[in-house]
A = this chain, B = another copy of it.
Amino acid sequence: MDGSISEPVKTKRSRPVLVADEIKEWVVKKDLKSGDKLPNESEMIDLFGVSKGTVREALRILEAQGLISTKTGPGGGSIVAKVSVERTRALLANYFYFQDLSIADIYQMRKVLEPELAASLAGKLSKEQLSQLKQLVDKYPQPSKSAEEEREQHIASLAFHQKLSEFGENKLLGFIIGFMAQILTDLTLYKRLYEPPNVKLWQEGREHQLKLLEVLQDGNSEKARKVMQSHMLIAEALMHKQEAEIVRRFIAE
């Protein structure tokens, strides 16, 4: 398991890191797939000629990166794991803990990516998928009365985009859009509420989502793009009210 993305050569890699690399190589060489078993601890001790502690540190490294998971007991041991989207998001968010990311930055991307996703999904969604989206829109059919209620509606709206991002064929596009929706959701969860609900903006947002579902079903790709573009402008306006600090929290593994 190494190669593709070239990392700068480390001069003095510690033994656990080296063992972790060996395990990755071993997995790639044997072409193990998600779910396949790795040798157990004592076998690795023999295999790599290191102590138990070193093997365990190597396994923790791989686990932290989401590449393996480990179970105790008979039939236990470590298996190759698919890196989960949740962990990947967390890892990526850790990077941005040290960068300055603003709401404006996120919306600069959303404004081009979300319409692209919408366009590529037009006419491609199943009945089941469309109804899942409809449910999210219908969760809060009435304008919110309180700031607290508006928060919940905003989160539901982001869940709509999150869901949409899962339906596309392009996994990279889906991941990035989902990542941004996650950041905005967490931001909304923690934000202080001081603004009164903006009924007009909300109304427009909801109408956009309904309209979007319609054109997605019709299969009108360019219309879908347009509707999503307008929708993003509304969403940006709603979000900019809270020119909050962003991603200034550290992330769990």
Q: Smallest Cβ distance from A157 to chain B, in angstroms?
A: 17
Tell me if A109 counts as interface (CB < 8 A to partner B).
Answer: yes
Q: Are A82 and B66 interface neighbours, CB within 8 A?
A: no
Q: Smallest Cβ distance from A136 to chain B, in angstroms?
A: 18
Tell me if A1 counts as interface (CB < 8 A to partner B).
Answer: yes
Tell me if A134 counts as interface (CB < 8 A to partner B).
Answer: no
Q: Are B2 and A252 interface neighbours, CB within 8 A?
A: yes
Tell me if A170 counts as interface (CB < 8 A to partner B).
Answer: yes
CA distance A247 to B94 in the complex (A): 23
A83 CB contact (under 8 Å) in B98, B112, B120, B252? B98
Number of interface residues of A (CB under 8 A): 74
Stretch at the interface among A52-60, A212-220, A235-243: A52-60
A172 CB contact (under 8 Å) in B21, B105, B170, B175? B105
* CB contact list, A59-76 vs B, under 8 A: 60-67
A112 CB contact (under 8 Å) in B61, B63, B100, B112? B112
Q: Are B106 and A172 interface neighbours, CB within 8 A?
A: yes
A170 CB contact (under 8 Å) in B34, B109, B182? B109
Q: Max chain B CB contacts within 10 Å: which of A2, A5, A61, A169? A: A5
Tell me if A148 counts as interface (CB < 8 A to partner B).
Answer: no
Binding site for B on A (CB under 8 A): 1-8, 16-17, 20-21, 24, 27-28, 34, 53, 56-58, 60-67, 82-83, 85-101, 105-106, 108-109, 112-113, 116, 120, 169-173, 175-176, 180, 182-183, 186, 190, 247-253
